[in-house]
Amino acid sequence: MKQVERRGAGGLGKAAPASRGDPAAGMAAEVDRRLLRCYGDREWSPRFGELLDGLVHTILSQNTSDVNSHRAFEQLKEAFPTWEDAAGAATADIEEAIRSGGISRVKAERIKAVLEMVRADCGSYSLECLREMGVEQARDYLLGMPGVGRKTAAVLLLFQLGYPLFPVDTHILRVGKRLGLIPPRASADQAHDIMDTAVPDDIKFRLHINLIEHGRAVCKARKPDCPGCCLNDICPRVGLKEEGSGDA
């Protein structure tokens, strides 16, 4: 199948004009312009040379910090230099290697199952077959894997292949709802569809990174710094009792 052009999601150029009839797209573009001034541009490049490395690392990042997931991945690769080694190992041994990443038993089982599925479908311990798929087919294939949901699939396809998807983590879900980009009662899966549509393809990567940074530094879950926020005058503060007071 024809491979999708990857540069469009990298945030390397200027933001595409928002659709005139789509207020959410206009808001997303304005948020991007402001966060660009606050946090700078983000140049897209694949995080890992191997797609399977990227998928396993993303699985390890679930429900833990970046520091813990990086450490767990390094320890996994040290214990099992190749994915064939990992596939032949006992689940308990993988669990021990990734213990620092949290929920190690569940993640070890998922990694073993994913490796078996990839070997059966692609003929080797490699996900290079994804490069031959379009966005929808690649996403559907990943969603068929154990432990791979919308966020994990979107992270892999955006960060490794530059496909125009918008991953929604807890920070983006929170900030997006406060900004009115995501309806208050929207689920995480619904939020992915909403942000995929609302955010222009060429700023998806940059806005994803900058919204997470903003959620960590300013628009925190509790006691957000509304007075010091660069989005203060355009933010409807959905779900906040009052400026800087925390969640309703």
Residues carrying an active site annotation: 151
Please, which residues bridge with residue 247 across strands?
240
Instruction: Provide the CA 33 distance to its chain's centre, in angstroms.
Output: 20
How many C-beta atoms lie closer than 10 Å to residue 6's C-beta? 17
Q: How far apart are CA 174 and CA 219, in angstroms?
A: 8
Name the one residue in this structure whose structure tokens are 């997006």: 176
Instruction: Enumerate the H helices of 162-217 as residue ranges.
Output: 170-179, 188-198, 204-217
Structure-block tokens of residue 68: 């813990």
Residue 140 sits at the vertex; the CA angle it makes with 187 and 175, to the nearest 5 degrees, is 30
Question: Where is 27: in which H helix or E strand?
Answer: helix 23-39
Query: Which of 17, 26, 130 lies closest to 140 in space, CA to CA?
Result: 130
Report the first-to-last Cα separation within the chain, whole angstroms.
48
Q: How far apart are CA 62 and CA 167, in angstroms?
A: 13
Q: How far apart are CA 215 and CA 173, in angstroms?
A: 10
